[in-house]
Amino acid sequence: MKTIRMEKNDWLLRVIFDLPDERVNKLSTAVMSELAQVVTELSKETQYEVVSFESAKKDIFIAGADIEELRDINDLATAREKGQVGQMLFTRIAALPQTTVAIIDGACVGGGCELALACDYRIATDNPKTTIGLPEVRLGIIPGWGEHNAYQD
């Protein structure tokens, strides 16, 4: 399933999320794997000065992790592994050689917020549906995909 497309302009490389057949973009295991491949490509890219992370969905940037997948976690090892995957990926985004910008129009929550925080800059529209936050704390989930280096023992 292809969720992420890249559009290249003169100096800008746009990374656009558009989860097929869904109203919102979610960071499922498959999407995180695809994003990791995109970040690998970006880390080798020398032609573009700026990389933007955007959404093709109306009124939504990224809604965060796939809650259904979170419900399936039933042991500490799996939880730790999934958390570390996100931490390492967002650390890689923060270390990209290009200037990175999250273009936020609509809800930017949970893992979407953490992805935006991994970027150098964030630009948010004045759309009334634009919200930025970590609502997973209301579910008893502590945000954990932040920068990997901050979580080392």
Looking at the annotation, which residues are catalytic? 114, 136
Provide the residue type at 123 as one letter: I
Q: How many CB atoms sit inside 10 A of residue 37's CB?
A: 10
Helix axes 111-118, 76-94, angle to 10 degrees: 30
* CA 16 and chain centroid, separation: 11
Measured CA to CA, the distance from residue 59 to residue 130 in angstroms comes to 7
Measured CA to CA, the distance from residue 51 to residue 100 in angstroms comes to 5
Measured CA to CA, the distance from residue 45 to residue 42 in angstroms comes to 5
Q: What angle do CA 97, 111, 2 make, to 5 degrees?
A: 75
Measured CA to CA, the distance from residue 79 to residue 73 in angstroms comes to 6
